Amino acid sequence: MKQNITLTLDRKIIKAAKVFAARQGTSVSALLADELQSRIERQRQYDQSRQVAIALLEQAFPLGGQGVKDRDSLHDRPALR
C-alpha cells in the first residue's frame, strides 16, 4: 500500500529536483522513492553481513598448532652441551 508524505525543501532544491527528474524521465516522487528504497536495501544488506561477520568472529577458528599445558612449558629449551 502506498501512502503520501509531506517533505519540506528549499524552493531552489525543488526546482532543481524537478529538472533532474524530468531529464531522467521520472517524477520527483519516484526519484525519491527509488533512492530511499536503495538506501534502505543497502542498510539491510550491511546489517545482515555484519551479523554474519559477528557470528563468525564468535566462533573459534582452528589455527593449528598444539595446545600449551602451562606457561613454564613455553620456555623449556633443550639442554646445551
User: For residue 19, what pLDDT is reported?
Assistant: 98
Asked if residue 8 is part of any domain, the answer here is no
Going by pLDDT thresholds of 50, 70 and 90, the confidence category of residue 80 is low
Query: Across all residues in the chain, what is the average pLDDT?
Result: 90
Q: What share of the chain is helix, strand, coil (3-state, %, to 5)?
A: 60, 0, 40
Residue 49 lies in a domain: yes
Within-domain flag for 37: yes
Range of the domain at 38: 28-59
- pTM here? 0.66
Q: Is residue 78 part of a domain?
A: no
79 within domain boundaries? no
C-alpha span between 18 and 31 (Å, rounded): 10
Task: Please check whether residue 15 lies inside any domain of the structure.
Answer: no
Q: Is 23 within the bounds of a domain?
A: no
Number of domains within the chain: 1
Could you tell me if residue 47 is inside a domain?
A: yes
Q: What is the pLDDT of residues 18-64, one digit of tens each?
A: 999 999 999 999 999 999 999 999 999 999 999 999 999 888 777 77
